[in-house]
Structures are given as C-alpha cells and as structure tokens.
C-alpha cells in the first residue's frame, strides 16, 4: 500500500438529492404519504437526518466514513423505481445529522441503526452498506441480534480487521494510522486530496470529484478522527460471525482503501451464507464508478436472482 494512501476506510463521493416526482404542496404531500425527509432521535437524543423514498419492501443504505446519505442517490433511485422503499440516513456528525461532540463509537452507531429501523418500522429490511457501514451492520448483529434485518449487502467493506497483529499478519502497519491521523487533524483538506485518486476511476469527471470532496469536508472533524481510529484498531471478526442472514459482498480488486484479500475475502470466509462478487479493475467508490453494474447486482439480489 502506498504510504500516501493512508488507511482510507472510505474516501470521497457524494451526489445531490434526486427527485422522484414533481413537487406538490406540503399539505398534499402530508395527506398522501409521510414526508420524504425528516429526523429520527437516537437513543441519546442525537438528531439523525433521514431520507425516505418510495414504498414497498424496505432497503436501508449506510454510507462510508465521512460520507452523507447523498452518496447513495443513484442506488436509491434505482430501487425506488423498482417498487422498493429506499431509505438512508446521515451518521451522527455527518451530513445533516447533529454533531453531539460525543459517542463516536461502534456501540453507539449500532444503537443509532437500531433506532432508525425501529422508528421507521423497517421490518424485513435489506441493509446495503458501503465501507465503514459494514462495521455498523456487524456490530448491530452482535449487539441487537440483527433485529429487523433480513439481508445484507456489503460494498467495499472494511471488515473484519484492518490492523496488523500477530493473528492478522496481512493487516496494515499501525505506523500508518499515526501518520494519517496526524495529517487528518492538521489539514483535513490535504488528507482528502491525497486519498481522492484511488477512490475513483481515471474517467471520473472532475466535477464529481470536487462534489465528493466538498461533501466530505462537511463532516465533523471530531467524529472523523475518532471513527477513523476506531475503524482501524477494532477487531470486528467476532461481530461479523454474528451475521446470520444471506449476505452479498461486492468489491473491487483495485480497492486501495480496503484491499480485497484483507477485507471482503476475509469477511466472506466468516459467513456461511455469503456470496462474493469481485469487480475487475474497480476501486473503492463503486456506487459512483460502477453505477449500472452495481444497481443491476443489487436489484438481482433483492429479487432473488
């Protein structure tokens, strides 16, 4: 791994909200259906911004580290058009959710996920998680038994364990964590600039790259720093073993942020109901770089294909 490409448990991308239908009056919207945007209160009272498109069987999207729910716009639009209910929320300290200045840990994030599932009544939900989102799913199964979750899709996952240790010799050297943490705390825009290229493909538009960078810089610096450290140092192998539902893993074989062998392949080996699909030549940002292919695989999984 190039030393400039420091640990990125996720990198950059975002896109604007996509409108599913012409805007109606607020009174008409309220009478016809619940609002498409709103907030859910977490267990500790933190306000979590939620977008909720369409109706039907629910699909809940979790973005990666330092990415808001906008990141999933292409996939949300695709599943909503297929008759599913597409839901996504901004992790605490991300996007339009509150920055409480505390509780940036995986137990709390798993509780936040449970709060969203419960508040929106998302029984039998398929959870689609990118990068760090996979750690939240795994901890939810360990902490809440995966209540409400029927299936899981992990895209560019960083599970099960990133850090090098005696029983994880292929992991990343902890010295890289210190190097990356120092740059992040001193110059977050520079950290973003360094980690941008391996997230995208060479033909990604400059406009899309700038959009992603701007969205990432809106993340709470406290939350970004604490979660980056937790993602790197936490051994999620016990959590991953608790995932007991059909799971699809999708990963690029040129993912620098989450090397295939260290992450997706190791995760699949822990899951008896897992299927792994590898995209040749693909980087970490699959929801933006491989939109059509990812959408097709996601719809096929939802329909049992």
Selection from 178, 180, 84 nearest residue 127 by Cα:
84
Question: Smallest Cα–Cα separation from 127: which of 282, 243, 275?
Answer: 243
Q: 97, 131, 220, 257: which one is catalytic? A: 131
Which of 17, 10, 19, 34 shows the shortest CA–CA distance to 69? Answer: 17
- The β-bridge partners of 29 are none
243, 146 Cβ separation under 8 angstroms: yes
**47: enclosing H helix or E strand:** strand 47-53
131 part of the active site: yes
- The CA–CA distances, whole Å, from 265 to 139, 159, 168, 233 equal 19, 10, 14, 19
Catalytic residue (choose from 220, 284, 290, 297) = 284
Closest CA to 93 of 55, 58, 67, 127: 67
Judge whether 80 and 302 are in contact, CB under 8 Å.
no
Instruction: Check if 284 is active-site.
Output: yes
120-153 burial string, b = 16+ CB within 10 Å, else e?
Answer: bebeebbbbbbbbbbbbbbbbbbbbebebbebbb
Active-site residue (options: 255, 257, 290, 297): 255
Of 152, 131, 133, 14, the closest CA to residue 73 belongs to 14
Residue 205 a catalytic site member? no
Which residues form the catalytic set? 131, 255, 284
């Amino acid at each position: 791994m190039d030393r400039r490409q420091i640990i990125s448990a996720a990198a950059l991308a975002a896109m604007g909200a996509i409108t599913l239908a012409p805007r109606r009056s607020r009174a008409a919207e309220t009478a016809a259906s619940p609002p498409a945007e709103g907030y859910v209160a977490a267990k500790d009272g933190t306000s979590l911004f939620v977008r909720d498109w369409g109706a039907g069987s629910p699909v809940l999207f979790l973005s990666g580290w330092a990415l808001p729910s906008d990141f999933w716009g292409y996939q949300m639009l695709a599943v909503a058009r297929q008759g599913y209910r597409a839901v996504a929320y901004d992790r605490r300290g991300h996007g339009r959710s509150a920055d409480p200045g505390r509780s940036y840990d995986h137990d709390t994030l798993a509780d936040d996920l449970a709060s969203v599932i419960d508040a929106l009544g998302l029984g039998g939900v398929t959870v689609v998680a990118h990068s760090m989102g996979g750690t939240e799913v795994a901890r939810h199964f360990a902490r809440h038994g995966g209540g409400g979750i029927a299936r899981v899709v992990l895209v560019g996952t960083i599970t099960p364990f990133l850090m090098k240790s005696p029983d994880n010799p292929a992991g990343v050297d902890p010295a890289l964590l210190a190097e990356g943490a120092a740059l992040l705390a001193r110059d977050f825009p520079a950290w973003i600039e360094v980690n941008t290229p391996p997230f995208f493909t060479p033909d990604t538009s400059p406009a899309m790259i700038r959009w992603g960078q701007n969205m990432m810089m809106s993340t709470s610096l406290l939350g970004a720093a604490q979660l980056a450290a937790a993602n790197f140092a936490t051994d999620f192998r016990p959590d991953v073993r608790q995932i007991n539902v059909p799971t699809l893993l999708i990963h690029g074989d040129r993912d620098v942020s989450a090397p295939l062998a260290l992450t997706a392949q190791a995760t699949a080996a822990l899951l008896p109901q897992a299927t792994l699909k590898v995209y040749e030549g693909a980087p970490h940002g699959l929801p933006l770089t491989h939109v059509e292919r990812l959408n097709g695989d996601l719809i096929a999984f939802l329909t049992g294909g």
